[in-house]
């Protein structure tokens, strides 16, 4: 399981379509299919079903759980990246020269 596979999976659930998901991520349909197969192998369960090649994808109970949890995890990843990138922006640094530092301070 990796972040990219989870992003593909969530999009696949939302679009219900391999072509739309592949287009969204600028990859091929086999790349999306391979990501789904990896997730299903990792969790040893079927996540999506399809009656035939033209039918709408149906999310299984396990797929719905993964979708909900993966969405939250991906939001957390994005928030974490944002916080880490801007962590040093919040620091306030004060500096004084010897002259300015001595003004108003008496022993």
| Domain segments of the chain as ranges | 3-90
Band of residue 104 on the pLDDT scale cut at 50, 70, 90? low
Band of residue 103 on the pLDDT scale cut at 50, 70, 90? low
Q: How far apart are CA 14 and CA 11, in angstroms?
A: 5
pLDDT digits (tens, 9 = 90+) for 5-21: 999 999 999 999 999 99
Band of residue 92 on the pLDDT scale cut at 50, 70, 90? low
Instruction: Choose between 82 and 30: higher pLDDT.
Output: 30
**pTM (2 d.p.):** 0.76
Instruction: Choose between 79 and 72: higher pLDDT.
Output: 72
Going from the C-alpha of 8 to that of each of 4, 25, 45, the distances in angstroms are: 6, 8, 17
pLDDT digits (tens, 9 = 90+) for 51-74: 777 778 999 999 999 999 999 999
Going from the C-alpha of 69 to that of each of 10, 66, 81, the distances in angstroms are: 10, 5, 18
Contact in structure between 43 and 62 (CB atoms under 8 Å): yes
Domain topology for 3-90: Arc Repressor Mutant, subunit A (1.10.10)
């Amino acid at each position: 399981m990796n972040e990219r596979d989870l992003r593909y999976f969530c999009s696949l659930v939302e679009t219900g379509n391999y072509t739309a998901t592949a287009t969204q991520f600028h990859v091929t349909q086999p790349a999306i299919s391979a990501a789904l197969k990896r997730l299903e192998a990792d969790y040893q369960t079927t996540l999506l079903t399809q009656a035939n090649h033209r039918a709408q994808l149906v999310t299984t109970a396990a797929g719905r759980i993964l979708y909900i949890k993966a969405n939250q995890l991906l939001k957390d990843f994005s928030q974490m990246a944002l916080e880490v990138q801007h962590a040093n922006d919040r620091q306030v640094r004060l500096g004084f020269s010897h002259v300015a530092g001595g003004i108003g301070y008496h022993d």
